[in-house]
């Protein structure tokens, strides 16, 4: 992820690039040069491999329930998962691009050959929807909250800055839209297995939580960030905290699949809820003291760093979290409007 101009959210959704190395030599000393090149190439490859996070790890978290957990900076871009029933599969999110989505499909096929009936997009952001085409081509229907269909090819453009390059525009315009949309709730039956999809407020205004009651598993999408600072570009933090409180009360012993970070338990969800609370309180106090702009951001950043400086994405998001929360508390924040 990379920061753009002040006030502009620019996230790098690009997969890792493939590096190539070419070298040439003359006849004299060729053997020595070839040996040196081979040694340097091996060292280069080892360094590149060591620096590259794995794309994702499949974790079984219940009978027929799997999370795909990606490392920070991986080409997968976010977490995903899938649920296997007696007559089919539901996939939750499709990563940031086609290639990691193909890898996810291959992992699913190692476990089951049952048809993939649905993909649930937990929200519209590109890092969770970029691989929709892979599963659509495999025969799945894409399901999401109704706002996702309206925002997928429009709101995602802002992540590429004020003047997106043609290839970025083409990428967003090619995203596969949901085939099935819902307003408040929808139930999916995979034979006898119930999968509940529920609309909840907070992160984008089009967020879905996917629940598997018989496994006590909840896929939270980006409503849950496990020890990571969140992207707040579309957020309404007060209803977001209410959503987290509801999940904690109703599912105190559940395993939560976060949108970013590792698997989460109730304590992790509570920690994240407390981050949002602390953020709002610290920003509100600074505003009450007359601080604004960079002075406010610097003051609150120092306070948050003491407790949250070790969390993932802290350097990426802390200043934007503060500025966007200040706008929200002042009633000036612009968020997507439902169609």
Please say whether the beta carbons of 92 and 80 come within 8 A. Answer: yes
Q: What is the pLDDT of residue 55?
A: 87
DSSP string, 173-208: HTPPPPSEEESSEEEEEETTEEEEEEEE-SSSSSEE
The pairing of beta strand 141-145 with beta strand 116-120:
parallel
pLDDT at 338: 85
Looking at residue 202, which CATH number applies to its domain? 3.60.15.10
Domain presence at residue 23 = no
pLDDT for the residue 85? 98
pLDDT at 31: 40
Nearest alpha-carbon partner for 220 in 83, 122, 90: 122
Give the Cα separation of 302 and 21 in Å (integer). 43
The pTM of the full predicted model, rounded to 2 decimals, is 0.85
Note whether 97 and 77 are within 8 A (CB): yes
Q: What is the pLDDT of residue 166?
A: 97
* Sign of the CA dihedral with 36 first, then 39, 43, and 45 last: positive
E strands present in 55-192: 57-62, 65-69, 80-84, 89-92, 116-120, 141-145, 180-182, 185-190
Question: In this structure, is residue 3 part of a structural domain?
Answer: no
Supply the pLDDT for residue 54.
55
For residue 95, the enclosing domain spans: 57-267
In a domain, 15, yes or no: no
Q: At what angle do helices 266-288 and 314-329 cross, to 10 degrees?
A: 60
**Residue 95 in domain:** yes
**CA dist., res. 216 & res. 224, Å (int):** 16
Specify the DSSP class assigned to residue 306.
H
Print burial letters for 251-265: b (CB count within 10 Å at least 16), e (below 16).
beebbbbbbbbbbbe
d(CA 125, CA 13): 10
The whole-angstrom separation of Cα 252 and Cα 257 is 14
Nearest to 128 by CA among 176, 163, 182: 176
Dist CA 254 CA 283 (whole Å):
32
The answer to whether residue 161 is domain-embedded is yes
What Rg do the C-alpha atoms of the chain give, in angstroms? 22
CA 260 to the chain's CA centroid: 5
**What is the C-alpha to C-alpha distance for residues 188 and 197, in angstroms, rounded to an integer?**
8
Tens-level pLDDT at each residue, the chain (339 residues): 333 333 334 444 443 333 333 333 333 443 434 333 333 333 333 333 333 445 899 999 999 999 999 999 999 999 999 999 999 999 999 999 999 999 999 999 999 999 999 999 999 999 999 999 999 999 999 999 999 999 999 999 999 999 999 999 999 999 999 999 999 999 999 999 999 999 999 999 999 999 999 999 999 999 999 999 999 999 999 999 999 999 999 999 999 999 999 999 999 999 999 999 999 999 999 999 999 999 999 999 999 999 999 999 999 999 999 999 999 999 999 999 987
How many Cβ atoms sit within 10 Å of the Cβ of residue 218? 25
Q: Is residue 284 assigned to a domain? A: no
Spatial distance between the Cα atoms of 211 and 284, rounded to a whole number of angstroms: 34
Does residue 8 lie within any of the structural domains? no
Write down the pLDDT at residue 287. Answer: 98
Structural domain total, the chain: 1
Please report whether residue 223 resides in a domain: yes
């Amino acid at each position: 992820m990379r920061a753009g101009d002040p006030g502009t959210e620019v996230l790098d959704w690009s997969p890792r690039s493939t590096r190539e190395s070419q070298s040439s030599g003359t006849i004299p000393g060729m053997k020595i040069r070839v040996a040196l090149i081979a040694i340097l190439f091996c060292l280069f490859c080892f360094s590149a491999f060591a620096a590259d996070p794995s794309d994702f790890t499949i974790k079984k978290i219940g009978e027929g329930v799997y999370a795909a957990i990606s490392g920070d900076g991986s080409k997968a871009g976010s977490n995903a998962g899938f649920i296997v029933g007696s007559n089919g599969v539901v996939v939750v999110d499709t990563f940031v691009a086609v290639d990691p989505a193909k890898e996810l499909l291959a992992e699913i096929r190692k476990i089951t050959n049952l048809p993939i009936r649905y993909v649930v997009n937990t929200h519209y952001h590109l890092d969770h929807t970029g691989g929709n085409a892979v599963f659509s081509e495999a025969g799945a229907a894409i399901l999401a909250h109704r706002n996702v269909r309206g925002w997928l090819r429009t709101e995602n453009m802002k992540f590429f800055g004020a003047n997106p390059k043609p290839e970025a525009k083409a990428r967003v315009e090619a995203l596969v839209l949901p085939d099935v949309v819902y307003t408040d709730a929808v139930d999916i039956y995979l034979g006898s297995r119930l999968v509940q999809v529920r609309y909840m407020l907070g992160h984008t205004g089009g967020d879905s939580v996917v629940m598997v009651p018989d496994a006590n598993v909840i896929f939270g999408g980006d409503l849950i960030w496990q020890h990571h600072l969140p992207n707040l570009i579309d957020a309404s933090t007060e209803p977001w905290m209410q959503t987290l409180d509801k999940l904690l009360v109703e599912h105190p012993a559940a395993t939560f699949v976060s949108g970013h970070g590792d698997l989460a338990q109730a304590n992790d969800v509570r920690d994240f809820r407390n981050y949002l609370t602390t953020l709002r309180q610290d920003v509100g106090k600074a505003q009450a003291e007359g601080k604004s702009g960079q002075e406010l951001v610097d003051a609150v950043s120092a306070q948050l760093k003491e407790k949250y400086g070790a969390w993932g994405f802290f350097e990426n998001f802390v200043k934007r979290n503060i500025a966007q929360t200040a706008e929200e508390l002042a009633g000036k924040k612009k968020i997507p409007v439902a169609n």
